[in-house]
Amino acid sequence: MSGPPPKTCITCGRGIAPSEVYYRFTLVLEGEQDVLDTPRAGSGTDELTALLKQLEASPESSQAMEEQVHWERAGVVCAACRTVVMRTLAPPTEPAGPH
């Protein structure tokens, strides 16, 4: 038997049969900030310096820090998980009446 390699849903881990519909996706989350926190004068705490020190102290957490800035996932999801993903990314539906 030769054919396309079996696919697995990246969200629920379920195997997707070749005859099943699946959905390919690429999701990139880029950390951005329009306004930087201005250091409060006289507070005595430099948050960025503290963060850098924390980063130096535990290099294994730098991966997590990096993921806060750039996080990327790509793969395929099954039809059921597509619904979940779409619901998660959709703006909250307001219980508003008809216009």
Residues forming the site for Zn ion (CB under 5 A): 9, 11-12, 78, 81
Rounded Cα gap, residues 27 and 82, in angstroms: 13
Rounded Cα gap, residues 38 and 48, in angstroms: 11
Q: How far is the CB of 86 from Zn ion (least distance, A)?
A: 13
**Between residues 57 and 90, which has the closer beta carbon with respect to Zn ion?**
90
Q: How far is the CB of 73 from Zn ion (least distance, A)?
A: 14
Q: How far is the CB of 16 from Zn ion (least distance, A)?
A: 8
Beta bridge partners of 25: 75
